[in-house]
Amino acid sequence: MIGAQAGVSELASDIRPWYRWHWHLYRTSSRVLALSGIAAHGAYHNLIDAMWEKGGTLSTDRNSLWRLALASCKQEYEGVADEVEAMFERSEDGLTFTNDRLTQEWNTTTEYLEKKRTAGGKGGQAKARNRALLLDSASKPLADASNALANAGKGLPISSSTSSSSTEDQNLDALDSQVVEIYRIHPKNATMVAAGRPCPSGQERLIAEAIVQDGYETVLCGTRNLADAFAKRPRGELRFCPSPDKFFSVSNPGYQTDPVFWQGETPKAMTAAATRDTAPRESPLDKMRRELASD
């Protein structure tokens, strides 16, 4: 327990304004029910709150405990101190109190916060990559005014000399949101999206590169065409859907493919089907006459 609390104390400065209160376990615990009365219950509950606030441990010094228990004076706390303090685990050196249930909650919260920090760090790395893409695009000379207007329509800086840091930040924020929106549309990302998983870094870079090269609207429309087509096809045919890595590759962009292709029929087959549907059909009488004439 002491070793576990070492890690807890390191994170005591984290702001954690709430924790899960297992009221059912509290109200059915034989130890809790054995407390003498409302004063003991109140002191115990208040000390648990204080323990959470202080990172999972409390000093055994009653000169501080009575204040943390919100008693009106030390004498009031002394009346319930023995039974309340028996609810906690005392360290081997006798200087600190801990509580097993609260320690479990603290460790669970710590794990959650660490995951959030890790995800935030990955998000920062992705933003840095997207910023590099934007700056690289801004540093390339534009051939003429029409190219400048085209790039401006894609949400890119017109030139490196005229783009301010605030404009770059706005473009970066726009690019990040555009990447997320397009990631959520691709049919093969549906499982990850439903699970609340962020866009994988590799796919994130491919989408960003596609937007920088061909424009947000082009990539968005192409991805929507793919999603609409496979939404109408049998579920088992999702295996024919191109993977995001192939679909967003700027060397062979799937988002520029004719939408008809994703419908499951080649243009040649569709043309033949249309010809069969529009060609005049022979009536039974004409067919009989033709067969008699051939005899």
Distance CA 159, CA 169 (A): 15
Co-location of 210 and 260 in the same domain: yes
Co-location of 141 and 259 in the same domain: yes
More confident residue, 156 or 95: 95
Co-location of 12 and 62 in the same domain: yes
Co-location of 132 and 261 in the same domain: yes
For 38, the domain range is 2-98
What pLDDT is attached to residue 4?
40
112 inside domain: no
Co-location of 78 and 210 in the same domain: no
Q: Is the pLDDT of residue 79 over 50?
A: yes
pLDDT tens column, 121-131? 655 666 666 66
DSSP-derived secondary structure for 122-149: HHHHHHHHHHHHHHHHHHSPPSSHHHHH
Domain count, the chain: 2
14: tokens are 């984290």
45 inside domain: yes
236: tokens are 């088992």
Co-location of 241 and 171 in the same domain: yes
pLDDT tens column, 133-181? 655 555 544 344 344 444 444 444 434 444 445 555 556 668 888 899 9
Co-location of 259 and 127 in the same domain: yes
106 inside domain: no
Co-location of 135 and 251 in the same domain: yes
Co-location of 19 and 64 in the same domain: yes
278 inside domain: no
Co-location of 138 and 260 in the same domain: yes
183 inside domain: yes
Co-location of 134 and 257 in the same domain: yes
What pLDDT is attached to residue 238?
87
pLDDT tens column, 183-215? 999 999 998 988 888 888 888 888 988 888 888
Nearest CA-CA partner of 138 in 149, 151, 127, 125: 151
In the chain, pLDDT over 70 holds for what percent of residues?
69
Co-location of 83 and 196 in the same domain: no
Are 7 and 109 contacting, i.e. CB atoms less than 8 angstroms apart?
no
44 inside domain: yes
pLDDT tens column, 2-46? 334 444 444 444 567 888 888 888 899 999 999 999 999 999 999
Distance CA 102, CA 51 (A): 8
Are 205 and 150 contacting, i.e. CB atoms less than 8 angstroms apart?
no
pTM of the model: 0.40
76 burial level (CB within 10 Å; 0-12, 13-18, 19+):
middle
